[in-house]
């Protein structure tokens, strides 16, 4: 599975932990590459555009996850979800076909996020017509 990942300075350490956890996957890290302060919008945009272009899965991390989620969702074809437990992660994938998982490095531990990431990567989009219809409507906005 191809995973495009990115973070700002606040999410850098968590991003590095996640990359270690995801060994065996094809991971492309689009930055940042240190804890030096950066503005998250440029990284969020790069990741989101690459996810659309390559039809991949993405993970974005900032302090709260909110900023990255807002940026990513401005890119046509992105359905980014800020998930905070396994249930919200499961429905983001099953009901909304989320293609980017957004995480807040200051809200949970890496251990907690590993469960969320596993759920995100192993949950398929529902085959139910109502979910397909709703995602199509979102994509047409």
* Catalytic residue of the set 9, 62, 69, 102: 62
User: Cα–Cα distance between 23 and 131 in angstroms, integer?
Assistant: 32
User: Cα–Cα distance between 133 and 141 in angstroms, integer?
Assistant: 13
* Catalytic residue of the set 25, 69, 95, 102: 95
Residue 9 structure tokens: 């300075």
Q: Is 25 a catalytic residue?
A: no
Residue 56 structure tokens: 């991949």
E strands present in the chain: 2-7, 26-29, 57-62, 80-82, 100-104
Q: Is 62 a catalytic residue?
A: yes
Q: List residues with catalytic annotation.
A: 62, 95
């Amino acid at each position: 599975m191809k995973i495009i990942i990115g973070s700002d300075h606040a999410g850098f350490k968590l991003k590095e932990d996640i990359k270690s956890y995801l060994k065996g996957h094809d991971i492309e890290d689009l930055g940042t590459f240190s804890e030096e302060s950066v503005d998250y919008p440029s990284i969020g945009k790069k990741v989101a555009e690459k996810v659309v272009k390559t039809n991949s899965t993405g993970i974005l991390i900032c302090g709260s996850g909110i900023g990255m989620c807002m940026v990513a969702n401005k890119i046509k074809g992105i359905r980014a979800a800020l998930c905070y437990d396994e249930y919200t992660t499961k429905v983001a994938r099953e009901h909304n076909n989320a293609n980017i998982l957004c995480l807040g490095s200051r809200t949970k531990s890496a251990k907690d996020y590993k469960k969320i990431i596993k759920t995100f990567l192993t949950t398929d989009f529902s085959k139910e017509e109502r979910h397909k219809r709703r995602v199509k409507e979102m994509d047409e906005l």
